[in-house]
Every structure is written in C-alpha cells, then in structure tokens.
C-alpha cells in the first residue's frame, strides 16, 4: 500500500467523507473487491471439490456423461468468453486514459459476447432436455450408468448454472457501468467502478477456464 | 494498489492470442490418449496456465502491490485446504481396518 503518496485532488467530488483522499478510497475499493473474489473462489471451490470427490468415485459414469456434451460448442464458448475478457481489459484500459466513447464501446462489445455465450449455453441446455439428460426430472441414460451418470449431470447443471447466473449479473452490472460512462461519470482520475466490474468479469471467465476441461474434455480419455 | 497502467494494448492482444491458442491446445490434446491419467494432468496444467495469464495481466495482479498478491493468494490457499482435506479423507478411508470401512 502506498500510504506515503501525496494526497490527490478529489476527482469529480466522488470521495466519501471517511477517506483521506481518492487514492486511499481506491485502495479500499480494490482490496474489498479482491476479498469478495476470494469468497467467490470458495463458493465455486465447494462445487469443484464435490466434483473431484464424486468423479474419483464414479470415473466411468463421469466419462460417459462428459462424452454426451458438445465439445465444439464448449470450445467456441470458451473462445467467446476469453474474447469478452479481452474487450473488458480494453474497456478498463480506455477508462485509464479517460476515453469515454471507447469505454462504452468496449463494454457494449463485452456484453454482446457475454450474451452470445449465454445463447450458446441455452441451446446446449435445450439439447440436454431433448436428450433426457436433466437430472431428477427428465433423465435416462444407457447401462451401466443409468443412475450414476445423473450425478455427473447434477454437477454439470449446478456448476454451469451458477456460472451462467454470474454472467447474467455481470451483464447487468456492465450495462449500469456503460450508462454511467456514457453520462461522463468517469475520468482518467476516477474509474474505480469500471476497474472493479472488470475484475468480476475476469473472475467469471476464470471459473469457465476450469469448467470447460473438467466437464467437456474429461470423458475423451481417462 | 493496482494500476495496470503500464500494461499496453499490445500485451493484452498477445495474452488474448495465447489464451485462444491454449484453448485450442487443450481441446486437441483431449482427443489424444496420453495414458496413465496424463490427460487429466495436461488439461489441468493448461487450465492453470490460462488462469495465471488472466489473473496476472487482465486482472492487473502483475502490476499490483504485495497486499493484492496476499489476498488473491489467500483465496486459492483456502481452496487448497478445502480440497486437500477432502481428498485426504477420500484416499485414506480404507487404510485402517474397522468400523470406518466405506465403499465409494
């Protein structure tokens, strides 16, 4: 922490009264966001641990279940999400330089890519429904995994569902930030909300980076 | 504290292209039988590499102060404890004879 740095002038009078200066306020926001992301690591970590536990118990069922997922769609979605992270990084970069129009454009592009991801995901969910692969409701699987493959698909829907929920929240968040950017609420001195939304978006990308191989690829070869 | 101001658009593009390359690589490798559980290892190593690139460059941790490193690291350290403890239980359950015998 650079506590010795000289106080900066308050940009756009965005400083809350409990902070010495905007620099200190930014440090607090940045660290607060990282603490939140650490709790998010634990939240998704619980599901990843459960996945590891059951997969070690039923490797055959997990492989058979995984083989019913569409690797091509999964890989395309991974590329789409990585591209959205790239445009998000560019949005923060534009914010650092105070380029208002570029922030808005990059955020809109990020939201568009996020929506494409959710569209492809919805289509995959639809396919799973048609193929009777929705656990507890509409499930049938070939022997000998007719019961145990249901565990794999429970993890599939819980993990990708929670991930998709995070994406939806992220897109709403970015819409709010883009609107604020359009109204000129950010400058090269003050862009904390853009930066922190970026951290959130990249985190959601991180989760998918692990979900893709663990769900889509594990079944090909044990 | 972060700034990330020293990271150029060029480095973002390079990181983006590497991430796309690693995605193609992990997908391709999954269809080749490496045997002995090595497919799992390859998939996880590539995923960790991709995660590191995202964390260090896109999330600006590379240009952030030590405090950020500690908090970001703490999240993964706790995750290690959670997973380590669980897996430890799983692999050692049937080592000792007695009532604790369980079948997975």
pLDDT digits (tens, 9 = 90+) for B9-45: 999 999 999 999 999 999 999 888 887 688 889 999 9
Q: What is the pLDDT of residues A153-172, one digit of tens each?
A: 999 999 999 999 999 999 99
Q: Give the gap in angstroms from C-alpha A183 to the nearest C-alpha of chain B.
A: 23
Contacts of A1 in chain B (CB under 8 A): 1, 65, 67
User: Does position B77 have pLDDT exceeding 60, yes or no?
Assistant: yes
Q: What is the pLDDT of residues A21-32, one digit of tens each?
A: 888 888 999 999
Contacts of B20 in chain A (CB under 8 A): 79, 82
Cα gap A202→A205, rounded to integer Å: 5
Q: Which among B23, B68, B87 has the least Cβ separation from residue A34?
A: B68
The least confident of A57-61, A138-142, A174-178, B22-26 is A138-142
A208 touches A160 (CB < 8 A): no
Q: What are the φ and ψ backbone dihedral angles of A160, each rounded to 5 degrees? A: -70, -30
pLDDT at A138: 85
pLDDT at A18: 84
Between B58 and A18, residue with greater pLDDT: B58
- Segment A108-131 mean pLDDT: 96
Give the list of residues 6+ apart from residue A199 with CB closer than 8 angstroms, or none: A33, A34, A37, B59
Q: A1 pLDDT band (50/70/90 cuts)?
A: very low
User: Does position A4 have pLDDT exceeding 90, yes or no?
Assistant: no
- Segment B60-68 mean pLDDT: 90
A166 touches A118 (CB < 8 A): no
| Dihedral sign (CA B38, B44, B46, B49) | negative
Between A and B, how many CB-CB pairs are < 8 A? 146
A 179-208: CB under 8 A from B: 195, 198-199, 202-203, 205-206
* pTM summary value: 0.90
């Amino acid at each position: 922490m650079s506590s010795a740095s000289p106080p900066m002038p308050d940009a756009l009078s965005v400083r809350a009264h409990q902070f010495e200066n905007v620099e200190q306020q930014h440090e607090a926001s940045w660290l607060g966001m990282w603490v939140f992301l650490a709790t998010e690591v634990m939240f998704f970590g619980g599901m990843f641990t459960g996945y590891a536990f059951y997969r070690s118990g039923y490797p055959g069922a997990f492989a058979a279940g995984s083989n019913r997922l569409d690797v091509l769609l999964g890989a395309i979605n991974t590329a789409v999400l990585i591209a959205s992270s790239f445009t998000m990084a560019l949005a923060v970069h534009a914010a650092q330089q105070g380029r208002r129009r570029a922030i808005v454009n990059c955020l809109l592009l990020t939201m568009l890519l996020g929506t494409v991801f959710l569209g492809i995901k919805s289509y995959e969910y639809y396919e799973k429904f048609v193929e009777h692969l929705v656990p507890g409701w509409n499930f049938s699987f070939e022997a000998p995994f007719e019961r145990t493959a249901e565990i794999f698909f429970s993890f599939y829907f819980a993990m990708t569902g929670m991930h998709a929920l995070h994406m939806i929240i992220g897109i709403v968040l970015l819409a709010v930030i883009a609107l604020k950017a359009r109204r000129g609420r950010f400058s090269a001195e003050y862009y904390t909300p853009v930066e922190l939304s970026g951290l959130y978006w990249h985190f959601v990308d991180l989760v998918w980076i692990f979900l893709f191989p663990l769900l889509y690829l594990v079944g090909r070869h044990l | 504290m972060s700034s990330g101001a020293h990271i150029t658009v060029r480095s973002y593009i390079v990181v983006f292209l590497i991430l796309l390359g690693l995605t193609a690589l992990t997908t391709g490798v999954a269809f080749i039988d490496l045997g002995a559980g090595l497919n799992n290892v390859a998939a996880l190593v590539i995923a960790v590499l991709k995660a590191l690139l995202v964390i260090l460059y896109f999330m600006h941790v590379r240009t952030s102060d030590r405090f950020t490193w500690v908090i970001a690291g703490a999240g993964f350290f706790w995750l290690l404890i959670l997973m380590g403890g669980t897996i430890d239980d799983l692999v050692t359950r049937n080592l000792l004879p007695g009532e604790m015998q369980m079948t997975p």
